[in-house]
Amino acid sequence: MTSGRATRTAKKTWTSSGGDGLPDYVVQLLHAADHLPEKQKAILIRAWEVGAAAHAGQTRKSGEPYITHPVAVATVLAEMGLDVEALVAAILHDTIEDTPLTHEDLANGFGETVAGLVDGVTKLDKLKFRDRQEAAAESFRKMLLAMSRDLRVIMIKLADRIHNMRTLGAQSGEARGRIARETLDIYAPIAQRLGMSLIKVELQNLGFRALYPWRYAVIEKRIRSQPVMRREAIEQVEVRLSRGLAREGLEHRLVSRIKTPWSIYNKMRNEGKSFDQVMDVFGFRVVVRSVAGCYHALGAVHAQFKPLDGRFRDFIAIPKANGYQSLHTVLFGLYGSPIEVQIRTEEMDLIAERGIAAHWSYKYGDETSNSAQRHAHAWILELVESQSRADSSLEFLENVKVDLFPDEVYLFTPKGRIMSLPRNSTALDFAYAVHTDVGNQAVASRVDKKLVPLRTKLVSGQTVEVITAKSATPKPQWLEFVVTSKARTAIRHQLKQLEHEDAVQLGHRMLDRALEAMGSSLERLPQQRLDAFLAEHRYQRLESFLADVALGNWMPNQAAQALMVFAELSGGNRALQSQEKILISGTERGVVTFANCCQPVPGDEIMGYLTAGKGVVVHRQDCPNLVELRKAPERMVPIDWDTQVSGDYATSLLVIAENRTGALAQLAAAVARSESNIDQVDYLDRDVNAVTLRFVIQVRNRNHLAEVIRRLRRLSVAQSVRRQ
């Protein structure tokens, strides 16, 4: 498909149809790609020809030829200064999904790198998902994994989203709202996380306009119709700042920062401010030649206007998580209006606006890569680890959303290493940020040398030390207060691992007990026959089979008989029930639960009932429901409490008390003095003289329960106390 025109390498000026016959939108792309040599521009034209032929007959909802969209996406990237491979991939980014062209076709025509980039951007519409939300989440997961191999994937995706948002008018109202919400929730925060401020701002404003067109129009009109007095005040501040900087001999560029409709709306909504209050803040950016010049300029602006106490931030010494660097200060300006000033070098300014696209470098960590690229690569490596532990694409997407919060806290390790975490992060989040093993074994922490619980929220500037113990394991309650996706994913993963280990151990005990009743054991079964049995039933490992036994997917006697028959051992036809009891400690996660009907506690006589998928459900021997359950004797599991039992167990007390003021308070105080927690109190009956209450309390064992009952019975207001 290569034409004579496409192979020219001499320097020339590209023209629209009528000259070289190129459409205006292609000429616009070539002008935007002026940083490329003519030979590479010819490759762009060849890519357009291939894309135009592949998309022939396809149109956008606006009626335009479809090829205009991918070329516009490439133009956005060309304006950022990206390389020819990224621009070619952008032109062809929808071909694998929407045309007969394949990965192999693109690899043969433009190289494996371009084909890989296109494949990374391609959505997964051809796969079957339960709903649109799951499809979007899976597409997002694939895109982030492709980012780990090449950051240009996300840059193409962001450019694609920008052009889609610019041309959103052709979509239906429902689609506009959905796409705008997704842009504000996911793509704008990703652009910010990658340091691409210009892209982020445009996505936010386009999303805001599509989602709330009336609010956008009102705010934009108010911005355009600024009163003359405000414009004069800005000019006065600008003159004073310029004079102060010039007096210090600082070569500088001073620009006033114009607030966007989205930023104004967010401040009004989140901080409860009026439009006038938001607009009463002047913003300026000072760009100087060197880092030393930044601090020199800081002194110069402070000499012109007094700084507000506590409003100075040094993001040069401690960069943001996306690589952003700048000095931020707030000054007390004319008529009391605050003046927000950012001071940075030209290099910092470029990275603040373009992020990973500034001085584009494909090789991470080399001398040419900028700080935003290095930070982005580190973040994406964390995402790859997170997704490998997540159960589903939806869970992964929710975890990533948490990590995209723009506000951060900056913390120090005891050795002085700086770490950034999302706002409201806890000491446990910090522990997992240090290392997954540190988080899993955390028991407490020291913040500025003071011992604090793991749920303690952290603030910038604190030094955090994590105290660990090798025997410690994550607790389900941790999920209630951690903030970061890394912590949440690691905790869930480890809890599932622990549940699996508990299931394997319990299943081993249950199966061994059943085999012993038949005169055998797991150890006595020939290994070759055992492996054949597992293969026959599609178990990759013995542990998976044992976990299924514990979860009730195999009855222990049924499993033992099947093993004996398969191993061709005598006893396979005997279905004896061993009277040896299996001991439980109450901490077996996911495979042992306690029945709500009778609420057993350590010390009670108990019996287990095997339920498919749930494992052993523990009942008291005097539970009325056992009469019905005993009709399936193969599911009954003789169990007892182990000598070492820990934890608190829920049980219920029925209390009949005098119906007078303060009675409930006396009862609750007695329970508290017994070192028991009250989970719930229900009024079951009430008359003039008496009230019947049900207390759901936590106790350690039967003796502890007896102590609670004794204390309640001693009260004069208590007429009757009994266990339910």
Please spell the DSSP secondary structure of 210-263, one letter per residue: HH-HHHHHHHHHHHHT--HHHHHHHHHHHHHHHHHHHHTT--EEEEEPPPPHHH
pLDDT bracket for residue 479 (50, 70, 90)? confident
- Name the 3-class secondary structure at 611: strand
Q: Which amino acid is at 462?
A: Q
Percentage with pLDDT > 70 across the chain: 84
Coil vs helix vs strand at 535: helix
Pick from 27, 29, 9, 8: nearest CA to 18: 27
Q: Which of 97, 347, 382, 707 is catalytic?
A: 97
375-491 belongs to which CATH class? alpha beta
Nearest CA to 376 out of 150, 634, 104 is that of 150
Check whether 608 has a pLDDT greater than 50.
yes
Contact between residue 518 and residue 578 where contact means Cβ atoms under 8 Å apart: no
More confident residue, 271 or 64: 64
Residue where the block lists tokens 């009250």: 678
pLDDT, position 138: 65
Other CB atoms within 10 A of residue 290 CB: 13
| H or E stretch at 497 | helix 485-516
> Structure tokens of 376?
């982005």
What region does 9 belong to: left with phi over 0, alpha with psi -120 to 50, or beta?
A: alpha
- pLDDT confidence of 144, banded at 50, 70, 90? low
- Classify residue 183 by its DSSP letter: I
Contact status, residue 423 vs residue 405, Cβ threshold 8 Å: yes
**What is the mean predicted confidence (pLDDT) over 108-129?**
73
Catalytic site residue 97?
yes
Radius of gyration of the chain (CA): 34
pLDDT at 612: 76
| pLDDT tens digits, 684-715 | 888 888 889 999 999 989 999 999 999 999 99
CA distance 51 to 77: 17
Q: Is 238 a catalytic residue?
A: no
Q: Among 20, 98, 182, 340, which one carries the catalytic annotation?
A: 98
Cα within 13 Å of Cα(417), Cβ side = 7
Mean of pLDDT values over 647-659: 89
Please report, for the chain, the start and end positions of each structural domain, with discontinuous segments joined by +. Answer: 5-221, 225-357, 375-491, 498-641, 649-723
Please name the residue ranges forming H helices in 390-426: 393-403
Asked if the model's pLDDT at residue 16 lies above 60, the reply is: no
DSSP 580: P
For residue range 186-223, list pLDDT tens digits in order.
Answer: 788 888 878 788 899 999 999 999 999 999 998 888 87
Asked which of 285-294, 333-342, 575-584, 677-686 is least confident by mean pLDDT, the reply is: 575-584
Contact 319, 269 (CB under 8 A): no
At 365-387, the pLDDT tens digits run 444 556 667 777 676 666 666 66
pLDDT at 666 over 70: yes
pLDDT band at 426 (very low <50, low <70, confident <90, very high): very high
Would you state the structure tokens that stand for residue 281, as one six-digit string? Answer: 């803040």
Retrieve residue 714's tokens. Answer: 């001693």
How far apart CA 190 and CA 397 sit, in angstroms, is 12
In the three-class reduction of DSSP (H, G, I as helix; E, B as strand; rest coil), residue 318 is classed as coil
In three-state secondary structure terms, 714 is coil
Report the alpha-carbon distance of residue 150 to residue 362 in Å, rounded.
7
pLDDT of residue 3: 34
pLDDT (mean) for 230-248: 86
Give CATH superfamily name and number for 225-357.
Beta Polymerase, domain 2 (3.30.460.10)
Q: What is the pLDDT of residues 491-532, one digit of tens each?
A: 888 877 777 777 777 888 888 888 877 777 787 888 887 888
- Strands 615-620 and 606-611 come out as antiparallel
Burial of 224 (0-12, 13-18, 19+ CB in 10 A): exposed
Q: Which two tokens stand for residue 283?
A: 């913003």
pLDDT of amino acid 47? 93
Residue 463 in tokens: 């030094």
- Report, as an integer, the average pLDDT of 445-463: 86
Residue 400 has pLDDT above 50, yes or no: yes
- Residues 406 and 190: their CA atoms lie apart, in Å, by 10
Q: Which CATH architecture has domain 649-723?
A: 2-Layer Sandwich (3.30)
Distance of alpha carbon 577 from alpha carbon 634, whole angstroms: 9
Non-local CB neighbours of 475 within 8 Å, separated by 6+ positions: none
602 Cβ contact list (under 8 Å, min separation 6): 586, 641, 645, 649, 700, 701, 702
Residue whose pair of structure tokens reads 């001398």 in the numeric block: 367
Residues 6+ apart with CB under 8 A from 251: 288, 289, 293
Would you state the structure tokens that stand for residue 427, as one six-digit string?
């000491």
Query: Rounded to whole angstroms, what are the CA distances from 137 to 120, 129, 140, 347, 483?
Result: 14, 10, 5, 36, 20
pLDDT higher for 357 or 248? 248
pLDDT at residue 15 greater than cutoff 60? no
For residue 485, pLDDT beyond 90: no
The domain 5-221 is placed in CATH, from the list 3.40.50.720, 2.40.30.160, 1.10.3210.10, 3.50.90.10, at: 1.10.3210.10
Question: In the chain, how many H helices and how many E strands?
Answer: 29, 20
Alpha helix stretches (DSSP H) within 34-187: 38-54, 68-80, 84-91, 95-98, 103-110, 112-121, 132-149, 152-166, 173-182
Rounded to an integer, what distance in angstroms lies between the CA atom of residue 21 and that of residue 48? 13
Whether the pLDDT of residue 356 is over 80: the answer is no
Most confident of 19-28, 390-399, 480-489: 480-489
Give the pLDDT confidence of 161-190 residue by residue, as tens digits: 999 999 887 777 788 888 898 888 878 888
Structure confidence at residue 122 as a pLDDT band (50, 70, 90) = confident
Burial of 82 (0-12, 13-18, 19+ CB in 10 A): buried
Summarised one tens digit per residue, pLDDT across range 55-111 is 988 888 878 899 999 999 999 999 988 889 999 999 999 998 888 898 899 999 999
